[in-house]
Amino acid sequence: MSELGRLRRDEAEVTSWDEECDVLVAGGGCAGACAAIEGARAGAEVLVLERAGGVGGTSAMSGGLLYLGGGTPIQEVCGFEDSAEEMFKYMMAACGPEPDARLIQPYCEESVEHFHWLVEQGVPFKPEFFDGAHEPFTSDEGLTYSGSEHVFPFNEIARPAPRGHITQQVSNKGSRLMQHLLASVESAGVRIHVQSRCEALVVASDGRVVGVVVATLDGRRHVRARRGVVLTAGGFIYNREMVERHAPALQQCKVKVGTENDDGLGIRLGVAAGGEAIRMETGDISLVLFPPNQLRRGLLVNGRGQRFVNEDAYMGRLGEFTVLREEGNAYLICDNEIFVRPDMFPIELAAVAQSVAELEADLGLVAPCLQDTVAAYNRYAEQGADPLFGKGANYVSPLTAPPFAAIDLRTKNSLYSAFTLGGLRIDAGGSVLAPSGEPVPGLFAAGRTTSGIAKQGYSSGMSLGDGSFFGRRAGRNAARSL
Amino acid sequence: MSELGRLRRDEAEVTSWDEECDVLVAGGGCAGACAAIEGARAGAEVLVLERAGGVGGTSAMSGGLLYLGGGTPIQEVCGFEDSAEEMFKYMMAACGPEPDARLIQPYCEESVEHFHWLVEQGVPFKPEFFDGAHEPFTSDEGLTYSGSEHVFPFNEIARPAPRGHITQQVSNKGSRLMQHLLASVESAGVRIHVQSRCEALVVASDGRVVGVVVATLDGRRHVRARRGVVLTAGGFIYNREMVERHAPALQQCKVKVGTENDDGLGIRLGVAAGGEAIRMETGDISLVLFPPNQLRRGLLVNGRGQRFVNEDAYMGRLGEFTVLREEGNAYLICDNEIFVRPDMFPIELAAVAQSVAELEADLGLVAPCLQDTVAAYNRYAEQGADPLFGKGANYVSPLTAPPFAAIDLRTKNSLYSAFTLGGLRIDAGGSVLAPSGEPVPGLFAAGRTTSGIAKQGYSSGMSLGDGSFFGRRAGRNAARSL
C-alpha cells in the first residue's frame, strides 16, 4: 500500500468504528489542550489522543512563556504601554519574510482576551518585570522582553513593549503551564487516551475528514470524529530525514528542541488529507550565548571578520543570521574589559591575543578586515553610538583593553538550538487549507504542526502563543463544524 | 468539493474513459518531450497533453543550454578535460544546501551518454568554446562556462570544466532545441493534444495513478493511462499566491522566467496524489549585470558597504547572495577605469563622486565602512590578489581613478530574474516519492515540476539538463510500469 494509503483511508474501507467522539484532538501538548477545552465548552464530546505515555509533550518541557500583548494587565502593572496596533506592527516586521497578516491580526487584537482566558484556566503570571538578557531561569517574574522589540531596527518600527508572559514558577515552568491547562481539560470532561498514535486520517468520498485510524497497545482502532479532527502533534525537528529534505540548514544546530514525537506525523497526515505544508524550510535557530548581557558589548563577526547584526538582538535573530546568512561561521570578539564566561553556554576560545591584529592573524583571517571592523566600531563607540548596526547605547563601548579574545561561535564547535516552524497552512479559524485556499472539511490544526505566526523570524513564546490561541479557535470551530 | 477532490479523483468515480494510452505525459516542454520519446521507444503508446495552444513551453523560450559534462566530445574538442567524478564534486558543492546525491550521481555518470542521445535527436552543438561572461547571445558556439566552476571556492573543490552545452543557433536557441526534440516525438509516433489541461489525477483504490481528468475546449474528458502518468508541467513562478506562500524571497525579482502556465499545477497534482513537495522556497535568482566582464573588476557591496561574494561568480550565485543574504541591497562600486554601461542590463547610478569617501556619504552609508572595503581590496589588488573573497586575478585591479560610481543593484531598482526550483521529490528513476520515500505507483515527474539537481545553488542549463535527463528516465520507467 502506498504512503498515501497509509496516512489517508477512505471511509468506505472502514467497516466499523471502535469509538466515537465529536471532536478528536491528535496530540496532548499546549495546542491540543486548548483545543480540547474550548471544544468541550462549545458542547462537543472531545477525545484527545496522545502517542506518548503521558500528555504534555514539548510544551511541558518548555519555558512556559507565551507571546502576549496589546495591553495585558501584567504589562500595565509593570508600567509598559502596549496596543494591538503596535504589537501587529512589530510582528509584521519581525515574523517574516511575508508573515500572514490574516493570522497575526486576530492574534494581536484578541491577545488581552487570550491572556484572561489563560488566567481563568489557572495559569499564574507574577506581575513583575524581569530585565534580563533572556527569560528568567532562576526566578519567577511574569514579564520579559522575549524578542527584538526594544532593539534596532524594530524599536524604530513599533513602540517597544515586552510581550513574553511567563508562567509563574522558578523551574519547570512549562510543566506548570501544562498542569493547569490539563486540569482544565479534565474538568471539561474530555477523554484522554495515551499511547495512541494516529496513523491515518479517514476521509469521506466528499473529502471530509471523518475519523482516524489509531495504533494502540491493543492493536489498531478506528475512531469516528463526528464534527472534526484537530491536529496538534508538534513539529518535525526529530525526524532527521524530513529535516534533511525540507530544512537542511537546521542540521547545523546541535540542540534539538522537542521530543522524539516531533517527527512531523501531524503535518504528513494533514497533507495526505489535502492540506498544504508551507515554509517547511523555516525554523527557530537560537544562539543562547547570553546571559550575561555584558557579552553583548562584544562584536559578532562572520568568517571574514565582518559584523552582520546588532549584538543586542534576540537570540533567535542572532542564530538565524549566523546560520542562514553566514553559513554557520561566527566569532564574538571581546576585550579584557568585557570578557566573561557565559552563565549557561559552554564556550571555546578560538584565539586570544595582545592586539586585534594578532587576533586576526591567529584566527587565520585576511588582514585588515577584522582590524577595520574593530576600529570603525571603536570610532563611534567613544560616543556611545553604533550607527552601522544600531546596537543600543547601553551595550556600546570601545574594545581597547588587551588581551582580546574570539569566542568560537561556529555551528560546528558551538551549541545552537533549533526547532521547526514549517507546517500546515491554516486560516484564522484553525482550519487546514488546501492549496486552493479552501478549507479541508473537518480538519483543523494548531501549534507547530502548522506554519503559524512566525514565518522564520521568531520571538520566544510564539509557539505556545499561537498553539494556545489557534488551538482554542480550532477546538471551537471543530465543535461547530458540520 | 474540496481541493483534494478536484485535483485527485477516485477511479470508482470514473464511469467511462474517453481515451486511453499507456503513458500519459502532462506538459510538452523539454522534459515532457524527452519522456515521450523514451516512453514510445520502450514500446508504450504515449499521449502528450499540453495546456497551451502549442507545445514547447518555457523550454522553447530558453537559451537552449544544457548542463552536461564528464568528458563530452564537445568538451574534448575544445580542449577541456572533465570526468564524472569532477562534475559530481562540483555539483555536490554548488547545488546545495544538501543536494541529492542520488540524483546527481547518475546525472554525472551518464552525462556523456545523454549528450550522444541529444545529438541523435538532431540537437546540434558547435564544437567551439565561448569565453564570455554569459552564454552567447549573438553567436552560436556550443560550449561555455555556465556556473561557478572556474571561480572561488569551486575551483579549489573540483577541477574546472565548462559544462554549458548550447544548442547551435544565433538566436532562439531554445526554440531550435525544442524543434528537434519535438520532431523526434513525432517520429516516435506519439500523439499530442494541445489546449488540454490536466485538472485531476485519477487514483485507484490501492493508490496507483491510473489516468487524468482533462479540461479541453470540447469539455471534460477522462483519459486512462495504463502504465503511468509523467508530470512535466513546469514550475510555479507565475503563480503569485504560491510564490508568496512558499518562496517569498523570489517576489523581489522583477523578471519572471517562464510562461503563464508555470503556475504549479503539476506540483499540486502530484501532492494531491500522495507525492511530496520539497525545497519549495528555492529558486534561481540571477543578476544579469554582465557582460561586459570588465565590470567584474568592481566591488559588489551590501547596504552597509561590505563585500559579500566574489564578483566573478556565476550570475545565479550573485543574485542568490544579494537577495537571500543581503535582503536585496547591493551596489557595484566602480572607478573611472573600469566603468562601462552593461550590454543588456539597464542601470541606474546611485551615486557618482570624486572620492570613495564622498561616494560613501552620497549613498548615505556609515563611514568608513565602504572606504575600508575599498582600501583593503586595493591593498591586495596591487599584487593582483583578492584573498578576502578569492576573485580571480584576471578581474583584480585597484580602484583608484576618480570619479567613482555606485551602480544601483538593489532589487527594488534593478532587474533580477527568477524562476522556481522547488517541487515534487523524485528518485533517480523519475518516480514521484511519497513522504515515506516510497514511490507513488504510476506517477512520474521531471523538470521544474520537481525539485531536481539544483537545491538552490543553480548553474545555467540545469533545468533543461535535469528535465531532459530525468524526463527520459521517467518516460522509460513509466513505459515499463505495472
Contact between A246 and B1 using a beta-carbon 8 Å cutoff: no
pLDDT of residue A5: 53
Which residue do the cell numbers 545553488 mark? Answer: B457
Residue A191 has φ and ψ, to the nearest 5°, of: -85, 140
pLDDT at B134 over 90: no
Stretch B89-113: mean pLDDT, rounded?
Answer: 97
Q: How far apart are CA A65 and CA A141, in angstroms?
A: 11
**Chain A positions in Cβ-Cβ contact with residue B271 (cut-off 8 Å):** 271, 276, 435
pLDDT of residue A1: 45
Residue A248 distance to chain B (closest CA, Å): 6
**Chain B positions in Cβ-Cβ contact with residue A440 (cut-off 8 Å):** 2-4
Same structural domain, A88 and A218 = yes
**Chain A positions in Cβ-Cβ contact with residue B7 (cut-off 8 Å):** 435
pLDDT at B1 over 50: no
Cell output for A337: 574589559
Tell which residue, A442, A42, A441, has the closest CA to residue A228.
A442
Same structural domain, B309 and B366 = yes
pLDDT at B296 over 70: yes
**Which stretch of A207-211, A467-471, B4-8 has the lowest confidence by average pLDDT?**
B4-8
Stretch A51-70: mean pLDDT, rounded?
Answer: 97
**Chain A positions in Cβ-Cβ contact with residue B14 (cut-off 8 Å):** none
Contact between B376 and A388 using a beta-carbon 8 Å cutoff: no
pLDDT of residue B136: 87
Residue B5 distance to chain A (closest CA, Å): 6
pLDDT at A344 over 90: no
Tell which residue, A56, A116, A84, A223, has the closest CA to residue A469.
A116
Same structural domain, B41 and B187 = yes
Residue A279 distance to chain B (closest CA, Å): 6
Cell output for A442: 473537518
Same structural domain, B220 and B323 = no
Same structural domain, A46 and A164 = yes
Tell which residue, A449, A67, A468, has the closest CA to residue A231.
A449
Same structural domain, A436 and A361 = no
Host domain of residue A240: 1-282+421-482
Same structural domain, A406 and A442 = no
Sequence-separated (6 or more) residues with CB below 8 Å from residue B306: A306, B369, B373
Same structural domain, A472 and A390 = no
Residue of A nearest to B424 (CA): A245
Residue of A nearest to B5 (CA): A207
Contact between A438 and B3 using a beta-carbon 8 Å cutoff: yes
Contact between B3 and A376 using a beta-carbon 8 Å cutoff: no
Interface test with A, best of B246, B251, B383 (most A CBs within 10 A): B246
Of B414, B430, B463, which residue constitutes the final position of a domain?
Answer: B414
Q: How far apart are CA B435 and CA B426, in angstroms?
A: 11
Percentages of chain A per state (helix, strand, coil), in multiples of 5: 35, 20, 45
Q: How far apart are CA A153 and CA A140, in angstroms?
A: 29
pLDDT digits (tens, 9 = 90+) for A76-130: 999 999 999 999 999 999 999 999 999 999 999 999 999 999 999 999 999 999 9
Tell which residue, B234, B284, B283, has the closest CA to residue B263.
B234
Cell output for A23: 471532536
Interface test with A, best of B245, B282, B300, B425 (most A CBs within 10 A): B245
Chain A with chain B: Cβ pairs closer than 8 A? 132
Sequence-separated (6 or more) residues with CB below 8 Å from residue B436: A3, A6
Cell output for B331: 551596489
Residue A42 distance to chain B (closest CA, Å): 26
**Chain B positions in Cβ-Cβ contact with residue A435 (cut-off 8 Å):** 3, 7, 242, 264, 268, 271
Q: Using CB atoms, which residue from A2, A279, A304 is nearest to B440? A: A2
Residue B366 distance to chain A (closest CA, Å): 6
Residue B380 distance to chain A (closest CA, Å): 10
**Radius of gyration, CA atoms only, chain A:** 24
Contact B430, B470 (CB under 8 A): yes
Stretch B399-424: mean pLDDT, rounded?
Answer: 97
Residue of B nearest to A424 (CA): B245
Q: Using CB atoms, which residue from A97, A206, A280 is nearest to B248? A: A97
Contact between A2 and B372 using a beta-carbon 8 Å cutoff: no
Cell output for B327: 535582503
Q: How far apart are CA A279 and CA A286, in angstroms?
A: 18
Q: Using CB atoms, which residue from A1, A324, A366 is nearest to B207? A: A1
The pLDDT mean for chain B works out to: 96
pLDDT of residue B5: 53
Q: Write out the H or E segment, with its range, that includes residue B225.
A: strand B219-231
Residue A293 distance to chain B (closest CA, Å): 26
The separation between the first and the last C-alpha atoms of chain B, rounded to the nearest angstrom, is: 31
Number of neighbours of residue A348 by Cβ within 10 angstroms: 11
Q: How far apart are CA B357 and CA B335, in angstroms?
A: 13
Stretch B84-99: mean pLDDT, rounded?
Answer: 96
Q: Using CB atoms, which residue from A4, A208, A251 is nearest to B440? A: A4
Contact B191, B25 (CB under 8 A): no
For β-strands B129-130 and B143-144, DSSP reports them as parallel
Of B383, B414, B445, which residue constitutes the final position of a domain?
Answer: B414
Contact between A438 and B325 using a beta-carbon 8 Å cutoff: no
Contact between B388 and A276 using a beta-carbon 8 Å cutoff: no
**Chain A positions in Cβ-Cβ contact with residue B2 (cut-off 8 Å):** 206-208, 274, 434, 438, 440-441
Contact between A244 and B98 using a beta-carbon 8 Å cutoff: yes
Same structural domain, B230 and B374 = no
pLDDT above 90 coverage of chain A, percent: 94
Q: Using CB atoms, which residue from B2, B435, B438 is nearest to A440? A: B2
Same structural domain, B302 and B214 = no
Contact between A249 and B440 using a beta-carbon 8 Å cutoff: no
- Residue with the bigger pLDDT between A344 and A231: it is A231
CATH assignment at residue A456 = 3.50.50.60
Within a 13 Å sphere around the CA of A469, how many CA atoms are in the beta-carbon half?
29
Residue of A nearest to B443 (CA): A2
| Amino acid identity, position B203 | V
The pLDDT mean for chain A works out to: 96
Residue of B nearest to A325 (CA): B325
Same structural domain, B311 and B359 = yes
Cell output for B299: 566591488
Residue of B nearest to A422 (CA): B246
Q: How far apart are CA B398 and CA B380, in angstroms?
A: 8
Of A385, A414, A443, which residue constitutes the final position of a domain?
Answer: A414
- pTM for this structure? 0.95
Q: How far apart are CA B464 and CA B125, in angstroms?
A: 15
pLDDT digits (tens, 9 = 90+) for B228-238: 999 999 999 99
Q: Using CB atoms, which residue from A4, A389, A425 is nearest to B434? A: A4
If one counts the domains in chain B, the total is 2
Same structural domain, B137 and B273 = yes
CATH assignment at residue B359 = 3.90.700.10
**Chain B positions in Cβ-Cβ contact with residue A93 (cut-off 8 Å):** none
Q: How far apart are CA B310 and CA B369, in angstroms?
A: 18
pLDDT of residue A6: 82
**Chain B positions in Cβ-Cβ contact with residue A10 (cut-off 8 Å):** 10, 205
Residue of A nearest to B389 (CA): A304
User: Helices marked H in A165-314 — which ranges?
Assistant: 173-187, 240-246, 265-272
pLDDT digits (tens, 9 = 90+) for B325-381: 999 999 999 999 999 998 888 999 999 999 999 999 999 999 999 999 999 999 999
- Residue with the bigger pLDDT between A210 and A482: it is A210
Q: How far apart are CA A387 and CA A220, in angstroms?
A: 63
pLDDT at B4 over 60: no
**Radius of gyration, CA atoms only, chain B:** 24
